[in-house]
Structure 1
Amino acid sequence: MRDEQSPGRERQPLSRAERARRIADTLRQRITSGLYEDGMLPDERALGHVLGTTRNTVREALGLLSDEGLITRRRGIGTQIVTAKYGHGLDRLTGLAETLVGYGPVTNTVRAARVVPHAPKAVTERLHLPDGSDAVYLERLRGLDGRPLSVDSTWLAPDIGRPLLDCDLAHRDVFTLIEETTGSRLGSAEVTVHAVTAEPDTARLLGIPTGAALFVIDRLTRLADGRPVDSESLRVRADRFALHTLLHRGAVPPRTA
């Protein structure tokens, strides 16, 4: 059954643009789930059959995905996925490098690793440090499979961060190093994800146009005893990255008057 109408009470016909957008959303989900392992999409006729729509709608949807940079279309070759997106689960506390194991070689270019005297008040407040306390700042440019993926900025409590300055920050994950040097397990993290556009400096580092889409993942990580020790912002290329989780629906709380 072709999706030519909305399910609203008046069931007004969908516009051509709306149909293309819906099909583009479905195709994006199929691509990011890894359905097309060979990196090639079926032809328009086959996609139309699977998705229950016309070739014209498929063609317009593919144009939207091409504009996003997710696919490229070449006469005589077909529709090819430009870059499969790498997934980061939100249901377990892991570092980005831990998540990317198996996707390809991960590299870290250390751009800053130092103790900052009298860290900004916003940092000391977030890490529950005394006003005017020192903090350790790390900045790394992370690459995956030979291409830049993210710029990671991290603030650490001084007693947590100082030992890390003598560690191999170019090849080791910060979460693993914290657990090794402290002898304590990390316990939990508060995560907020923002959609932003790349300003010129980040765009230069990541090799993308100014104004390109980014995820900013703000994360405050705590030890198992609840103490906040790691405050970071990861600026990640949205064209190479997807966030996913598995959610379970519990009992719905009763409504209050």
Structure 2
Amino acid sequence: MPQISRVSYTPLYQQICELMREKINSGEIAIGSRVWSESDIMEKFHVSRNTARKAIETLQNEGIVSRIQGKGSFVSQPMVNYGLQNLMSFSEEIHERRLVPSSKVVCFTREHPESFHAENLKISEEDWVFKLERVRYADGDPIAYQVTYIPEKLCPGLLDYDFSSQSLYVVFEKNFNHVLARQKTLIKPVAADDYLAGILNVSLQTPLLYTESVTYLAGGTPIESNKNIYLSERYQFTVLSHRFDPTRSTEEK
């Protein structure tokens, strides 16, 4: 039977949480499997119902388990946490979470940009861009839909690459010698329409995260304009903020 210490400074519910995390991380309790119920925890560890409930609620708040009414709590699919302070490709993000990334190219064409993307890329609507539309997967599950526009003049011959297996950022850096520097991103919630529900295999009106982003090269030239959709139950964004010191700013003036 798993052991907890009643003389430890660590609260009992936290010790139980840690034991459950270890079993989940090791695969002993698989994704989608039912975890211990409140009654199971009470019996295994001889603790109160309040302690058992707090352990399960803690794991739920961390996104590790999810409760299904009338059935119990189950191990959730791992959440992809993208730190906006780091400019990473989708493949890099997924690999960092120890998941396997893959992509399905919906379309990859050469066309003229809409005004929205032309403005983002600081080009004319008469210029040529490559439009790359992909569904992105983690461990075989669709978690994102991305539409990317790239100026042809920055990446001539881009249509020759297979982005179902290649990373766009790796191609930018290795094949075209571009230095990616920063990205500006807007995030807002949306609900799945018929098209997104079908392509991401979710129900109509499922909550999603919508982002618009522009990626810039080291010299300030925009290289890609994106519209992205992420499953909110699998994807979250972390923002690192720094405190602005108005006193210091005044002194410098």
Shared topology, TM-score over 0.5? yes
Instruction: Note the C-alpha offset of 1:197.
Output: 0.9
Using the alignment, how far apart are the partners of 1:73 and 1:120 within structure 2? 44
Instruction: Name stretches of at least 5 consecutive residues in structure 1 with no aligned partner.
Output: 1-30, 48-52
Amino acid at match of 2:101: V
**Could you tell me which residue of structure 2 aligns to residue 99 of structure 1?**
93
Does 1:252 find its partner at 2:245? yes
CA distance in structure 2 between the partners assigned to 1:111 and 1:154 by the alignment = 12
The letter of the residue matching 2:142 is: P
Q: 1:196 to 1:59 in 2, by over 3 A?
A: farther
Q: Paired residue for 1:116, among 111, 117, 120?
A: 111
> Which letter maps to 1:38?
K
Distance in 2, matches of 1:69 and 1:214, equals 19
1:75-90 alignment runs, 5 A limit? 79-90=73-84
In structure 2, the partner of 1:142 is 136
Judged with a 3 Å threshold, the aligned counterparts in structure 2 of structure 1 residues 141 and 37 are, in CA distance, closer, same or farther, namely farther
Displacement after TM superposition at 1:61 (Å): 6.4
Match of 1:172 in 2: 166
Cα RMSD (Å)? 3.6
Of residues 99, 124, 142, the one that matches 1:130 is 124
Distance 1:124 1:73 in 2: 46
From the superposition, tell whether residues 213 and 78 of structure 1 become closer, same or farther in structure 2 (CA, over 3 Å): closer
Q: Tell me the alpha carbon deviations over residues 24-52 of structure 1, each in whole angstroms, 9 at most, x when there is no partner.
A: xxxxxxx9xxx8243466644769xxxxx
> 1:1-257 residue pairs with structure 2 within 5 A?
36-39=21-24, 43-44=37-38, 54=50, 71-73=66-68, 79-102=73-96, 103-117=98-112, 119-247=113-241, 249-253=242-246
Q: Deviations over 1:73-121 (max 9, x none)?
A: 598x96222312122121111111111115322111111111013x222
Change (3 A) 1:61 1:36: closer
In structure 2, runs of 5+ residues without a counterpart are 1-16, 30-34, 43-48
What SS class does the counterpart of residue 38 from structure 1 fall into?
helix
Residue type of the partner of 1:169?
F
Distance 1:204 1:38 in 2: 34
Partners of 1:74 and 1:124 lie apart in 2 by 48
Letter of the 1:151 counterpart: Y
Tell me the amino acid that sits aligned with residue 100 of structure 2: P
Code of the residue aligned with 2:245 in structure 1: it is V
Q: Give the CA deviation at 1:151.
A: 0.7
> CA 1:226–1:217 in 2, change beyond 3 Å: closer, same or farther?
same
1:184 aligned counterpart, secondary structure: coil
TM-score (norm 2): 0.71
What count of residue pairs does the alignment treat as equivalent?
A: 215
Residue 226 of structure 1: CA displacement? 0.2
Letter matched to residue 146 of structure 1: G
Cα distance in 2, alignment partners of residues 70 and 231 from structure 1: 35
Conserved 8 A contact 1:83-1:240: yes
**Inter-partner Cα distance in structure 2 for 1:105 and 1:69:** 19
Q: Is the 2:216–2:223 Cα contact (8 Å) retained in structure 1?
A: yes
